[in-house]
Structure 1
Amino acid sequence: MNIFQPIQKAFRFYVEGFRHMPSWGRKMWLIILIKGIAIFVIMKILFFPNLLQKNYNNDEERSHHVLEQLTKTR
């Protein structure tokens, strides 16, 4: 038995499902994909700012800060 056979069967199952999907289903998946990307971009911008870029002027200061944070003892 091929170890990748279950993965291949699952992949074929989804490919056939999308191939025989009605046009409205494809449009719905496109809308879901666009909304997911938009939410990811908005969350990235609003909630995950680049603090290293803001707080430190050059790469040397950034790398020093990261090294200190990773190696400090608690």
Structure 2
Amino acid sequence: MTKDSSNGDKPTNIIINGTPTKFNGDEINYDQLVELAFPGSSKILYTITFMGPQMPDGTLTEGQSIKIRNGVKFNVSKTNRS
């Protein structure tokens, strides 16, 4: 997945569910992460947690975005809530 960015053509290296992924941009949102983790998925609720170098651990919810750095790790999983 690509996104217009202010950091030129150099992609950011992130890890999604243990898989190294290159993302063009310095910010990523909930929907983009879900699509990268589960391409073509239906409207299921997902829990997204992240941890990374030089940034606090946290969660990302629908409608939110986060500035990313090389090496940030995301875990995207189906929510067990209904």
> Taking structure 2 as the reference length, what is the TM-score of the superposition?
0.17
* Higher CA-based Rg: 1
Tell which has more relative contact order, 1 or 2 (C-alpha 8 A, sep 6+).
2
Which protein has the bigger strand share? 2
Q: Which has the higher helix share?
A: 1
Give the TM-score of the pair, scaled to structure 1.
0.18
